[in-house]
Structure 1
């Protein structure tokens, strides 16, 4: 897979931040800019500055004239505007994509690092097709019961779109650093029948051996911090371009929230470190996954699964309020 194209959504946000900064340096209010340019809608500038609309490079050029941007600034921001609007070019990196998957695909594209936690599900980037199909089909049942219209895409299309997203973890060029904390409950019997869970566990074992992927299983009775309980799934994205703002995605099942607000991000980054520290180490996680695979009905003995010389997970104990290994 070729290197990732810049994320359009992050290009829009980056452009918006720079345009707002240039306007403020020029000492202009939004109303003054609208009056000078003659735009009919005052919200047009607001949507551009907040990264909520696809920018027209001609509009950006006009704004840069008003703000007195120098040549270097013009070249940089017009290039970003082009990338922010080139949805079709970005989509060429994916064999199939759906609207439901696009918002996360846009965040993941161009990432240097992804950190994820999920208390009840295997994160989407790690799911097998069977696990994904089961999750999407079960969610559609809720839509039907609630009387919502049917989804635009069928389950198979959504599954293939998610698989297209997953390719970024195994691409040969600039694959992001990926770390996930998985709750033990997310890999239990409630998630699906044994054959689906077995396939999922085997895939996690294989992914855990990749140099850019780190997985941690969090046992159900392990204490986090001072009895902290994380309330929701979340992901933190850091981008290859250091000027693109880190982004938080909070996954709420039927609605998602995204934020670049620094104080909110910092809280979730602290929580992720608590989770990672409390969870099993990388090697113990691989051992746990192999043993969990072997415990499923009809599975081969765990010792015959060829993932290296993993040993049994070490026990953990409390010591001065901190979890330690021995």
Structure 2
């Protein structure tokens, strides 16, 4: 089970923000700090303040003394310093992970709210082992044909993804999770029929969790003023308001993470547009249920996706069962 405590990456970012705030509060520039404590390079301070290096408790202690930090704050920040450096202890909660999986696991741990959008795939936290395996194997094939032979074992990655997914049912503090899914992520190109059927059934089950909201964006739906989101992204919000909101922009082979406020706000606006354009949670569940029948040839076509312009059947949660509103 993933830990509820934030991971080392988030702790480093929190520590960096606090150290920069204290330095500025003390009226010191980076060069002045380096000169006073005798560090050889300004890059060491820069890496600490930007959360890009494992902090040394002695170094942090020297900075806190220079900045005149009060005892209570000093104790708190030294505790954060310890957490920020304890990667090995934190990773004991997980199976073996790739660097990419570990970065996402660190963001997800300690999260209070996650908002995700992916234009072509089911997000990793929602994938079945079969769906994930096809995604991982196809990526490995691309790497192999590109001459990169240092690929990870697919089953190791599948197990790591399953470990991350357990945070959605973590008790008692599972995060609120909202995802906007594209219809293309569940189309015929995404995998064999049996894999897609299993994935859609799994989405139906997840949609019934009280902390999970799924919304489907149909292929021809207009978003905003014909806006086309360029890539997958996730926004992470944390229980502690002093921990910075974090944006993860997911590329095909590389990911970018940012806490820059203006960039975050733009992606929040985009997510609101996507959510507004997508089907409601109840209509999404209707579409998913009907899609399982379409895949096995046992149901009529969905009125939501393919039928006449009539209101789709509305389903709601009631005592754990699906009921129909007329």
Task: Report the TM-score, using the length of structure 1 for normalisation.
Answer: 0.90
User: Where does residue 97 of structure 2 map in the other structure?
Assistant: 97
Pairing of 1:22-61 with structure 2 (within 5 A): 22-61=22-61
Count, aligned residues = 309
User: Where does residue 186 of structure 1 map in the other structure?
Assistant: 185
Q: Indicate the SS of the match to 2:222.
A: coil
User: Where does residue 282 of structure 1 map in the other structure?
Assistant: 281
User: Where does residue 135 of structure 1 map in the other structure?
Assistant: 135
Q: Indicate the SS of the match to 1:131.
A: helix
Instruction: Note if contact 2:16-2:51 (Cα within 8 Å) is conserved in structure 1.
Output: yes
C-alpha deviation, 1:114, in angstroms: 0.3
Q: Indicate the SS of the match to 2:236.
A: strand
Pairing of 1:76-87 with structure 2 (within 5 A): 76-87=76-87
| Two-structure CA RMSD over aligned residues (Å) | 2.0
Pairing of 1:257-296 with structure 2 (within 5 A): 257-296=256-295
C-alpha deviation, 1:89, in angstroms: 2.2
User: Where does residue 305 of structure 1 map in the other structure?
Assistant: none
Instruction: Note if contact 2:8-2:87 (Cα within 8 Å) is conserved in structure 1.
Output: yes
Q: Indicate the SS of the match to 1:296.
A: helix
C-alpha deviation, 1:216, in angstroms: 0.4
Rounded to whole Å, the distance in 1 between the matches of 2:3 and 2:157 is 23
Rounded to whole Å, the distance in 2 between the matches of 1:232 and 1:21 is 33
C-alpha deviation, 1:39, in angstroms: 2.1
Instruction: Note if contact 2:2-2:167 (Cα within 8 Å) is conserved in structure 1.
Output: no
C-alpha deviation, 1:62, in angstroms: 0.9
Instruction: Note if contact 1:249-1:258 (Cα within 8 Å) is conserved in structure 2.
Output: yes
Rounded to whole Å, the distance in 2 between the matches of 1:90 and 1:316 is 52
Whether 2:24 is the aligned partner of 1:21: answer no
Rounded to whole Å, the distance in 2 between the matches of 1:32 and 1:261 is 25
Instruction: Note if contact 1:115-1:235 (Cα within 8 Å) is conserved in structure 2.
Output: yes
User: Where does residue 70 of structure 1 map in the other structure?
Assistant: 70
Structure 2 residue runs without a partner (length 5+): 312-325
User: Where does residue 116 of structure 1 map in the other structure?
Assistant: 116
Instruction: Note if contact 1:5-1:90 (Cα within 8 Å) is conserved in structure 2.
Output: no
Whether 2:130 is the aligned partner of 1:107: answer no
Rounded to whole Å, the distance in 1 between the matches of 2:73 and 2:210 is 38
User: Where does residue 166 of structure 1 map in the other structure?
Assistant: 165
Structure 1 residue runs without a partner (length 5+): 303-310, 318-325
C-alpha deviation, 1:171, in angstroms: 1.1
